[in-house]
Structure formats: C-alpha cells, structure tokens
Amino acid sequence: MFAHRMIEANGVRLHIAEHGTGPLVVLLHGFPESWHSWRHQFEPLAAAGFRVVAPDQRGYGRSDRPDAVDAYTILHLVGDVVALIRALGEERAYVVGHDWGAPVAWHTALLRPDMVLGVAGLSVPPPFRGKQPPLVTAQERFGGRFYWNYFNRPGVADAEFAADTRTTLRKIFYWASGEAPVTAEDRQPLVDPERGWLTTLPDPEVLPAWFGEDDLDVLTEGFSPGFTGALNWYRNLDRNWELTAPWHHAVVTPPALYVYGDRDLVPAFPGTPELIAALPDLMPNLRGAPVRLPGCGHWTQQERPDEVNTALIDFLTTCPRPA
C-alpha cells in the first residue's frame, strides 16, 4: 500500500513511507516507535487529498543513527524536517507529531513558521520553555528517579532495553496504553536506578486489539540495532533548553491542533494539566479547544485512529493551502 524509499536530508539518510498526492503532510513518530505508528493515517489522509510522508526519524528504524550524542539536538531534528520537505520538492507542509515527534513538530512551526501551513501535536503539548533545564527540574522533583534521568545514564537503559527487545516494547506499549489497569496519575514513570525500569512494568498475556503481534514484529525489527540512537534524544534535553534560549516566551504562530488521551501519562506530568487548560490563551492560532479522547492512553493515533483521523482531516482542510 505504501511506497518506501530513502531520502538524503540534513546530512543523514532517512527512510520514509509515503502515500497519496496533494499538499504534503509530514507525520513524525515518537519513542519507541517508527513510521509504522502512522499506519492508520495514510489511507484516510490520502483519500482526503493529501500527500502523506512518515519518516523513521534519525536514530530509528532504517534511518541513519549518528554516533555522537549531540547529533540529536532539537535543531538537528527540526533541520531534518526542513530538509525533508525540501527534498520532497515542496516549500511548505503540514507537520504532525506524536510523543517526541510532537516537540519536533511544534519546534518546526516555532523556528520555521514560513514553512509550516499547520501543525498538530498528539500527547505532548506545545513547547513553553521552563525557567531551568528539564533534567535539573526532574532531578529536584523526583530525586533522580524520573525516567528522563535514568535514560541519561550512559549505556544503562540501552543495555536493559536491548537484552530482550520484543519484551521491552511489549511491556512499554501495554503500560502506557489506555488498557493498562491504572490511572495516568499512578503511571508517573519513576525508575529504581538499581533495578531498572522494565522490572516494574506489567507484561500482558494478550496485546491490546489495536497493537497486534504483526505490529510488534515490525517494531522489534526496527530496534534490532539497539535503542541508543532513540535514547540520545533524551540525552539532549538540557542542551535543547540552552539552544532554544532565543525563543524563550515565543509562541507557535501557524494554525495549531492539540489532541490527547485522558489516560495518557504525559498530560498527567506535573504542571501539564494546567498548561493544557491554558493553551487557548497561550496559542494565538489554536483551532478550537484541545481534543480530549476519553479512555485513550499514550499511543493516540494507534489507539483511537478514527477519532484522530477525523480531527486531523477537519483541521488540515481548514488550514491555508500551499500557493
């Protein structure tokens, strides 16, 4: 159904899946995912008249995995999107992101509003830069047990996750889903640095209906080289805070949409519910109130594809069209 190819962009080779013709929509996945997380969006968006492209972002899947940790800053990631749009023969595009892909989408709109016709984020709300580096904040609030801090221990999470890739992904996907039998508030991702993270996560006997064994197969294959490239995104959180100082107090100006699940752990992070409530006042071109999906966990576009597709198509068709 989808065409696959490699694209040279911003000094790396990115694997992309693409489908449809029309104005370009770039779909950016999160952690620990790949282009495949958008499998339910290709056909509906293409049928609505869009050209849909989902890359494996740098460090993931079949795309390049630079060795240097500082090759994964937000400026590199936005640079990949900008270069990808150009390499696809376009000057402007709609950019949609989920999880880590959402900050990349929001920052693309923040740093290059001239190239973004509309921006949508799933799970992670727009970037409003805090008063101090995020790892410092997490260290102070959670005594170093927040998963961001754990991921920043060189080689530790890399080894834990790669010991049994399929089990790692199965546990993470179930734990963060709407099917997990705990509230989002109970799922603050705190890690015992000595025991690791996976020992505390439930291992389901049966996968959720929206995430089958075939989907797990695809994801497992994508992480067969390991998790280090993906984890390096987290290892730049404080560096990103420093690099984005010129945009402190800046806001995303292109038309925007925010969608989240009410059982997602990310919107339950400390301070995030208040941010979401304030978005209509903070975002000058937010189209409507944030879309809240009852019973939906973290994997928004996979758990609730019909609702997400409707929200995206309604949003994209009201945004400016490319000249």
Distance CA 26, CA 86 (A): 12
Among the listed residues 28, 22, 20, 21, the one whose alpha carbon sits nearest the alpha carbon of residue 84: 28
Distance CA 203, CA 211 (A): 14
Q: Which of 56, 64, 80, 99 is catalytic?
A: 99
Active site residue 99: yes
Distance CA 61, CA 33 (A): 8
Percent helix, strand and coil across the chain, each to the nearest 5? 40, 15, 40
Q: Tell me which amino acid residue 299 is.
A: W
Active site residue 107: no
Q: Which of 36, 76, 98, 298 is catalytic?
A: 298
Positive or negative, the CA dihedral 161, 166, 167, 168 is positive
Distance CA 311, CA 309 (A): 5
* DSSP assignment of 211-258: S-HHHHHHHHHHTTT-SHHHHHHHTTHHHHHHHTGGGTT----S-EEE
Tokens (6 digits) for 88: 């696809």
Q: Which residues are catalytic?
A: 99, 298
